[in-house]
């Protein structure tokens, strides 16, 4: 999974798709986010649960433990290692959902530059990505070590033909279980390893290379280009 996503709906759209009763605690204004080209290290909408309730916060995309200052904060974590490796041990118990409208991958098709593709759910609903992180304190707010990573899995040759990794995407009922503090860590690991939405749930197509510059924004970045998508998967 390459490090670029889209979040352009209302915050309520992301919260509602999970199907929880009651309100979310959030300081995010409920208006369209209009972010069509979101790069790592920026603030991204994240849904998580704390003792005082369910939160919708803006959290920095990327995290590293305090002792790993010699490397950039990763934005993704491999599902095969995340539950047992030392790097993410501190945040593995702290689960979240990163709701996105889609993500971008770049494919080498033999030209001078790689071709970007936009991938999103076929049914048009938000994509609920499994994530873990260090979240803002309910009383003290954001801290300098806050951040999160999206969990990724092998996508059996790429979302087919596109890339060898993709986010672990959960159906709403599994996403609710993922967020629940009572869900055992062992169960969460099995969900991440075996219950991600299949590739058939998604569609993808070529988009304008302007998405390569993260300063570029606008809905035109997720519109299908005139070129044919891989294997006609659009």
Looking at residue 187, which CATH number applies to its domain? 3.90.1680.10
Please give the residue range of the domain that contains residue 133: 5-232
The answer to whether 65 touches 87, Cβ cutoff 8 Å, is: yes
pLDDT of residue 107: 86
pLDDT of residue 231: 45
pTM over 0.95: no
Catalytic residue set: 2, 105
Helix axes 172-179, 185-194, angle to 10 degrees: 150
pLDDT of residue 229: 46
**Span between the terminal Cα atoms of the chain, in Å:** 19
pLDDT of residue 142: 78
pLDDT of residue 136: 86
pLDDT of residue 232: 42
Which residue, among 65, 64, 47, 68, has the nearest Cα to 56 in the 3D structure? 47
The answer to whether 23 touches 45, Cβ cutoff 8 Å, is: no
Q: What angle do CA 86, 88, 89 make, to 5 degrees?
A: 60
64-80 pLDDT tens trace: 999 998 899 999 999 99
**The CA-based dihedral angle spanning residues 214, 218, 222, 227, taken in that order and rounded to the nearest 10 degrees:** -90
Contacts of residue 123, defined as CB under 8 A and 6 or more positions apart, other chains included, come to 201
Task: Mark residue 67 as left, alpha or beta (left: phi above 0; alpha: psi -120 to 50; beta: remaining).
Answer: alpha
DSSP string over the chain: --S-EEE-S-HHHHHHTTT-SSPPEE-S-SS---EEEEPTTSEEEEEEEETTEEEEEEEEB----TT-TTSPPPSEEEHHHHTTSSTTTTTTT-EEEEEESEEEEEE--SSSSPEEEEEEETT-PPEEEEEEEE--BTTTB--TT-EEEEEEEE-SSTTTSS-SEEE-B--HHHHHHHH-TTS-HHHHHHHHHH-SPPGGGEEEEE--GGGGSTT--SGGGGSPPSSPPGGG--
Give the chain's domain count. Answer: 1
pLDDT tens by residue, the chain, 234 residues:
678 999 999 999 999 999 998 899 998 998 999 999 999 999 999 999 998 899 999 999 999 999 998 899 999 999 999 999 999 999 999 999 999 999 999 888 888 888 999 999 999 999 999 999 999 886 677 778 899 999 998 866 556 555 668 899 999 999 999 999 999 999 999 999 999 998 889 999 999 999 999 999 999 999 998 655 444 455
């Amino acid at each position: 999974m390459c490090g670029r996503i889209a979040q352009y709906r209302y915050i309520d759209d992301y919260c509602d798709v999970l199907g929880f009763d009651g309100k979310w605690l959030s300081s995010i204004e409920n208006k369209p986010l209009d972010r069509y080209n979101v790069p790592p290290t920026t603030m991204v909408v994240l849904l998580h649960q704390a003792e005082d309730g369910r939160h919708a916060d803006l959290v920095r995309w990327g995290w590293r433990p305090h002792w790993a200052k010699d490397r950039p904060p990763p934005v993704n974590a491999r599902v095969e290692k995340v539950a047992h490796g030392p790097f993410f041990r501190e945040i593995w118990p702290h689960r979240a959902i990163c709701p996105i409208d889609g993500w971008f991958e770049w494919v080498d098709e033999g030209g001078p530059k790689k071709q970007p593709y936009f991938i999103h759910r076929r049914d048009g609903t938000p994509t609920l990505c499994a994530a873990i992180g260090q979240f803002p304190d309910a009383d003290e707010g954001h801290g300098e070590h806050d951040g999160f990573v999206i969990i990724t899995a092998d996508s059996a040759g790429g979302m087919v033909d596109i890339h060898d990794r993709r986010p672990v995407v959960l159906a709403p009922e599994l996403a609710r279980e993922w967020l629940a503090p009572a869900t055992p860590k062992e169960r969460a690991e099995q969900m991440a390893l075996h219950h991600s939405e299949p590739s058939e749930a998604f569609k993808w197509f070529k988009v304008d290379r302007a998405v390569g510059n993260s300063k570029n924004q606008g809905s035109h970045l997720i519109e299908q280009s005139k070129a044919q998508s891989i294997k006609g998967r659009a």
